[in-house]
Amino acid sequence: AQTVTQSQPEMSVQEAETVTLSCTYDTSESDYYLFWYKQPPSRQMILVIRQEAYKQQNATENRFSVNFQKAAKSFSLKISDSQLGDAAMYFCAYSGGSNYKLTFGKGTLLTVNP
């Protein structure tokens, strides 16, 4: 069974600084998708970034980028120039094969200090 592990229950960062959130996963599939979702206190879950495992190039969306290490089964999220609006719970998620399910990690609560 696939598992997703986020080892940092909480993280904090100063405004304008850079922070990296960790995620590791376990799978026997060779091709799959990985996602980072953000859920602010207002509660709507927002897709931040997506990575296809068959792509070697790391995905980037504005200030958000990933470091995808397929062999190590690691998928970390880097947030550059952190803003107060980045404060949220961040969930790493996996989907592979013909599986209809998203497997979520337990989440990392990010605090941004002014």
Catalog residues that contact another protein under the rule CB under 8 A: 29, 31-33, 35, 37, 42-47, 50, 52-54, 89, 91, 94-102, 104-107, 109
Burial 16-41 (b: 16+ CB within 10 A, else e): eeebebbbbbebeeeebebbbbbeee
Q: Cβ 6 to another protein, closest distance in Å? A: 9
Q: Cβ 48 to another protein, closest distance in Å? A: 10
Residue among 6 and 82 whose Cβ is closer to another protein: 6
Residue 91 to residue 101: CA distance in whole angstroms: 15
Residue among 42 and 114 whose Cβ is closer to another protein: 42
